[in-house]
């Protein structure tokens, strides 16, 4: 039977989670947002409000619409808050064991017809689905960052995903005003299969001394019209996330061209993960970003 999605649960209130909650609430869906601590959800709600206020200031949103969207998002302390959701989207850290545990725990409280989705950027949807009690109702819904701005969503079926689930997910994404790209369930799907090796190659270019940070970023911004240079983009994504996607590609496809650059590994080991830790390929602690190499 076809599922009508009206209420959406979002697990994880970080960059992706609060972005998904934002666009879903604006599109008229009721949203339940949870995280490991109530403080994280509180700060996510403040961030969402700030972003909505910016839209009001720009004139792309009315004050009434802002208030209505905000009122549609409710926090949940436990997974019990997802009991009546039609769709639950997981946006936790890009670690398979963490995601599998979440799916195992949340499925216990969901209604039988609820759809479960992962926003994973690289992990096998088929494998994650196998950790649930409903592999046919499991799908990959991969949003791009930042969610309110980026138009694309990748939809990825696992081997068991049925047509009703796929159609419901596609309709949901359409209501958010996003475009769908359908990807097969291969490591890193379409966008990151192409994007992350490019970023990794830019890091090799730095590592081998072909160019410095500024030269590499300027080359791709001015020479290929990329809105952000690859090293700047790596800092924005998070170097830990970049590394974990490269590891998924390297392990999943067993091709040496996906070997993570040793310099990327070193930065992650140093805890220099990009913007979120104030240091990556740039140092963000001053008035303007300064290259760290």
Q: How far apart are CA 158 and CA 137, in angstroms?
A: 10
Backbone CA torsion sign across 251, 12, 131, 85: negative
Which domains, ranges and CATH numbers included, belong to the chain? 7-183 (3.40.50.720), 192-291 (1.10.1040.10)
- Told to judge if 200 belongs to the known catalytic residues of this protein, a careful annotator would answer no
Overall residue count recorded for the chain in this entry:
293
pLDDT tens for 191-250 read 999 999 999 999 999 999 999 999 999 999 999 999 999 999 999 999 999 999 999 999
pTM score: 0.93
Task: Name the active-site residue from 13, 34, 118, 121.
Answer: 121
For residues 21-42, average pLDDT: 97
For residues 123-137, average pLDDT: 97
pLDDT tens for 115-129 read 999 999 999 999 999
Q: How far apart are CA 125 and CA 183, in angstroms?
A: 11
- Told to judge if 142 belongs to the known catalytic residues of this protein, a careful annotator would answer yes
* Mean pLDDT, rounded, of the chain: 97
pLDDT tens for 180-208 read 999 999 999 999 999 999 999 999 999 99
| Predicted pLDDT of residue 20 | 98
pLDDT band of 287, cuts 50, 70, 90: very high
Task: Name the active-site residue from 18, 22, 51, 142.
Answer: 142
| Predicted pLDDT of residue 3 | 78
Backbone CA torsion sign across 212, 216, 218, 223: positive
- Told to judge if 121 belongs to the known catalytic residues of this protein, a careful annotator would answer yes
pLDDT band of 1, cuts 50, 70, 90: low
Is the per-residue pLDDT at 2 higher than 70? no
- Told to judge if 226 belongs to the known catalytic residues of this protein, a careful annotator would answer no
Task: Name the active-site residue from 13, 122, 192, 200.
Answer: 192
The two three-digit tokens of residue 88, written as one number? 């639950």
Question: What b/e sequence results for 53-79 when a residue is b if at least 16 CB atoms lie within 10 Å of its CB, and e otherwise?
Answer: eebeeeeebeeeebeebbebbebbeeb
pLDDT tens for 63-88 read 999 999 999 999 999 999 999 999 99
């Amino acid at each position: 039977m076809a599922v009508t999605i009206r209420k959406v649960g979002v697990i994880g209130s970080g960059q992706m989670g609060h972005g998904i909650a934002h666009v879903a609430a604006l599109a008229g869906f009721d949203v339940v947002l949870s995280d490991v601590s109530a403080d994280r959800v509180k700060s996510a709600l403040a961030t969402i409000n700030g972003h909505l206020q910016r839209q009001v200031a720009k004139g792309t949103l009315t004050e009434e619409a802002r208030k209505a969207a905000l009122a549609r998002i409710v926090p949940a302390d436990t997974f019990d808050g997802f009991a009546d959701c039609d769709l639950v989207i997981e946006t936790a850290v890009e670690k398979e064991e963490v995601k599998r545990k979440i799916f195992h725990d949340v499925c216990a409280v969901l209604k039988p017809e609820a759809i479960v989705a992962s926003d994973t950027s690289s992990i096998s949807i088929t494998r994650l689905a196998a950790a649930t009690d409903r592999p046919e109702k499991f799908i990959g819904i991969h949003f791009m960052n930042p969610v309110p701005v980026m138009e694309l969503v990748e939809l990825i079926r696992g081997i068991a995903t049925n047509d009703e689930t796929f159609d419901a997910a596609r309709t949901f994404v359409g209501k958010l005003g996003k475009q769908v790209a359908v990807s097969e369930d291969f490591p890193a799907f379409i966008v990151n299969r192409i994007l992350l090796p490019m970023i990794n190659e830019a890091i090799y270019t730095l590592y081998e001394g072909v160019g410095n940070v500024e030269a590499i970023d300027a080359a791709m911004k001015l020479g290929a019209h990329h809105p952000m240079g690859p090293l700047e983009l790596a800092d924005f994504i998070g170097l830990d996330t970049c590394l974990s996607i490269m590891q998924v590609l390297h392990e999943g496809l067993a091709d040496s061209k996906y070997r993570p650059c040793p310099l990327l590994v070193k930065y992650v080991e140093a805890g220099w993960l990009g913007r979120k830790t104030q240091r990556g390929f740039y140092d963000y602690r001053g008035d303007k970003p300064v290259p760290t190499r």
